[in-house]
Amino acid sequence: MQRIYLDNAATTEAVEPVAEAVQQALCQTYGNPSSVHGPGADARSVVDQSRDIIARMLGVDTTEIYFTSGGTEANNLAIRGVPRLNSQCHAILSAVEHPSIYSQVEWLQQQGVSVDITPIDPSTGCVDLDAMVDQLKPTTRLIALMAVNNETGSIQPISRLAKTVRSRLSDVHIHCDAVQAFGKHPVSTREWDVDTLSISAHKIHGPKGIGALYLRRGQGLTPLASGGSQEGRIRPGTENVPGIAGFGAAARYMQEVGRDFVNRSKDLRAAFLDKIASTIDGAHPLVDPEHTVPYIIPLRISGCSSETLLHFLEREGIIVSSGSACHGKTELTHVMKALGYTSDPGVIRISLSPQTPDGALDVLVAKLQSVVGTVRQISPSTLAG
């Protein structure tokens, strides 16, 4: 049975240029980039080239890009590294941040920081911007708002938020998790006026275990680790040269195909949702597609257990998700709770990539038609209707 992979918001397969770049860094450019000899200089060149392509895609200077082990470390560094967070400070996080940010609430509170969580509009999955603005205080020191939500695909109003905040407060750190946006959805780092921004390679056909943090020039961050001068001492430790090489190759690949991919995704999603609406009763988008990126499609099928539906589809060769892979549990995610659900809403997340084959969503429609009835029969009666 040929497998159709539709869980690209969780991770993506490496494309050939990425695999080649990683292999070359492992087997040929294997020097330590901190060494002063020739092999070290060659490795440093690989790191610099990747940093340069990523910086250009973000529209920032190369000195503002710091490599990390992934989006989670970048998010942790952006939150925990903000200087002078103490009991005199206030922070605001949206209710739908990635777990690597949402989980920082407890840590912030341990520092004495008061924290407000901003609700979202359940119809769109977007943060209630007026509510977030109303939460501002003279002591607000940190705000976190992602660019694209990993479960709903909802596009968050980061630019409008920053503009409003900057007009009211002069000393506030704004962080944006752009992991699900980079390479696919426009990321306007300067226009968004954020202080830090996180990205990750494995969401764009790069290797796992490598990400990057943009840190606005002139802004300070307290490192989470010590012991080396690498990455401007912001993220010390020998650089992951193969990962960085793969990240650079993945960024180049998305620079070439990203725009066409998004346009293709719009057409694929429109046709898919039309077929779903006409063939499966009780199936509809989780949130208004007009407010989401086209490559993340959260579909709600009433009366179905999300996990059961996921496994039935896998038996048919279709790989989808029931939510965030970083949540790692079968219980309701905080994003679903923020949308107002108290029990399993029967949601599967379908996510596309440039490697998604033609006809994949047509196959998914057919498979859903064949399994939904059975899944509804065996799903608990307490499911949200």
Return per-residue pLDDT of the chain as tens, 385 residues.
689 999 999 999 999 999 999 999 999 999 999 999 999 999 999 999 999 999 999 999 999 999 999 999 999 999 999 998 999 999 999 999 999 999 999 999 999 999 999 999 999 999 999 999 999 999 999 999 999 999 999 999 999 999 999 999 989 999 999 999 999 999 999 999 999 999 999 999 999 999 999 999 999 899 888 888 898 889 999 999 999 999 999 999 999 999 999 999 999 999 999 999 999 999 999 999 999 999 999 999 999 999 999 999 999 999 999 865 455 556 799 999 999 999 999 999 999 999 999 999 999 999 999 999 999 999 875 455 4
The pLDDT value given to residue 119:
98
326 is catalytic: yes
3-state secondary structure of 125: coil
Statement: 4-12+258-377 belongs to CATH 3.90.1150.10: yes
Record the tokens describing residue 167, joined without a space: 């007009």
Burial 255-294 (b: 16+ CB within 10 A, else e): eebbeebbebbeebbeebbebbeeebeebebbbebebbbb
* The one-letter amino acid at 304: C
Question: In the prediction, which pLDDT does 323 show?
Answer: 66
Q: What does the block give as tokens for 204? A: 């764009």
Q: Which entry of 27, 176, 304, 326 is annotated as an active-site residue?
A: 326
Domain boundaries defined on the chain: 4-12+258-377, 16-251
**Per-residue model confidence (pLDDT) at position 1:** 67
What count of other Cβ atoms lies within 10 Å of the Cβ of residue 164? Answer: 16
Checking DSSP bridges between strand 4-5 and strand 65-68, what pairing results, if any? Answer: unpaired
337 Cβ contact list (under 8 Å, min separation 6) = none
Distances from the Cα of 61 to the Cαs of 24, 159, 256, in angstroms? 26, 20, 21
Helix residue spans in 81-145 (DSSP H): 99-102, 104-110, 129-134
- Same CATH topology for 4-12+258-377 and 16-251? no
Q: Which of 154, 135, 136, 138 is nearest to 146 (CA)?
A: 154
Residue ranges of E strands in the chain: 4-5, 65-68, 90-94, 114-118, 140-144, 173-177, 196-200, 211-215, 283-285, 296-301, 318-319, 347-351
Predicted structure pTM score: 0.95
Residue 381 has a pLDDT of: 52
Q: Which two tokens stand for residue 75?
A: 């998010």
Class at the top of the CATH hierarchy for domain 16-251: alpha beta
Q: Which DSSP state fits 64?
A: G
H-helix or E-strand spanning residue 42? helix 38-58
